[in-house]
Amino acid sequence: MATEVARYWQHSAVPGVDLLRARFVTHRYGRHSHETYTLGVIEAGVEEFDYGGSLLRAGQGAVAMLNPEVVHTGQAGVPDGWAYRVLYPETDVVAGIAAELGWRPGTPHFPRTVVYDARSAGLLRAAHTAAEHGDRLASSSLLKTALAGLLAAHAGPARTRGTPGMSGRAPDAVRFVRELLAERLADPPSLDELALVTQMSPFALLRAFRSETGLPPHAYLNQQRVRIARMLLDGGVAPAEVAAETGFADQAHLTRHFKRVVGVPPGAYQRERRRASGGRPGAPGKNVQDQPAGIWVASRHGRPA
């Protein structure tokens, strides 16, 4: 029976970079976005994902380049699923590399999401593999080389973000709702209450909020809860306590939403964080099947294997 295996961890030599190596069959990512870039290389199978309203497919050898804060999904595009390696560099990391290349200030933008470029795929794979093996000098050097290579081959200068169809008080209303939801993670107001305080109809507020963020308010709230949950888990807070503090009904509720965004359950995520803070990088030669601490493994039906 096919298994799903995933490891999500921090780069040991470059702050602001997370990594994922996974093989998924039935796992489906919910609609979400990342504050970071998402740069992945498909090693086997096909991943299918909605990105900014377009359905895309990435097969073996493909490089996927997702810009920050663009809502997307992710699921198997073939019955056997897909295996991939992913880098999640923060915007400051990528902008810093761009500045070293002589680019003007700003956040670089990748206009093409899926490309078949053997050189870029090789750069990403080499940087990811070195980080997996815990080689700090090689992994930091290869990461910079990979990011510089991707920027030179596939990125363009910062693009001004527009919000079609939003005028009047809608942008201010959406900004207010986002701030209010951030303050009331565990006790969010109802849609009618939000509409009342923004002086908009519920439908108009829903439409404006989705146009600005790519998500309806309830899905945006759950994404923010997961982001805060990650911060709390990074700080050593137990998953059950994290669930309570972020407004999830219980730990199972947290786990369901967390895994649909991050790809691994909160316990596995936190174990990798502890390993990183304890200065114990993965032993050379280990791969995703070796199941070091923090690896999440499930059967085809999603149960722990």
- pLDDT above 90 for 166: no
CATH topology of domain 170-256: Arc Repressor Mutant, subunit A (1.10.10)
Distance of CA 66 to the CA centre of its chain: 9
pLDDT band at 134 (very low <50, low <70, confident <90, very high): confident
Rg (CA), the chain: 20
Say what the pLDDT of residue 2 is.
66
Are 49 and 93 in contact by the 8 Å Cβ rule? The answer is no
Mean pLDDT value of segment 268-274: 94
Please report, for the chain, the start and end positions of each structural domain, with discontinuous segments joined by +: 4-160+266-298, 170-256
Beta bridge partners of 45: 82
pLDDT band at 277 (very low <50, low <70, confident <90, very high): confident
Say what the pLDDT of residue 280 is.
40
Mean pLDDT value of segment 108-126: 98
- pLDDT above 90 for 294: no
Say what the pLDDT of residue 170 is.
85
**pLDDT: is 275 or 60 the higher one?**
60
pLDDT band at 223 (very low <50, low <70, confident <90, very high): very high
Say what the pLDDT of residue 157 is.
84
Say what the pLDDT of residue 301 is.
47
Element (H, E) at 40: strand 38-51
pTM to 2 decimal places:
0.86
What's the CA gap between 294 and 305, in Å, rounded? 14
Q: Which two tokens stand for residue 140?
A: 């930091």
**pLDDT: is 290 or 150 the higher one?**
150
Are 7 and 77 in contact by the 8 Å Cβ rule? The answer is no
Distance of CA 59 to the CA centre of its chain: 19
CATH 2.60.120.10 fits 4-160+266-298, yes or no: yes
Percent of the chain at pLDDT above 70? 87
Residue with tokens 């509409």: 195
Element (H, E) at 248: none
Find, among 255, 235, 175, the residue nearest to 209 by Cα.
175
Instruction: Quick: pLDDT tens for 28-67.
Output: 999 999 999 999 999 999 999 999 899 999 999 999 999 9
What's the CA gap between 87 and 22, in Å, rounded? 12
Residue with tokens 């008080």: 169
Say what the pLDDT of residue 275 is.
85
What's the CA gap between 220 and 230, in Å, rounded? 16
- Please enumerate in sequence order all residues whose Cβ is within 8 A of that of 105, keeping only pairs 6 or more positions apart, or say none: 95, 99
Say what the pLDDT of residue 276 is.
78
Say what the pLDDT of residue 169 is.
65
Residue with tokens 């201010």: 172
What's the CA gap between 205 and 220, in Å, rounded? 14
Element (H, E) at 269: helix 266-277
First-to-last alpha carbon distance for the chain, in angstroms, is 10
Mean pLDDT value of segment 58-87: 98
**pLDDT: is 162 or 69 the higher one?**
69
**pLDDT: is 278 or 235 the higher one?**
235
Percent of the chain at pLDDT above 90? 81
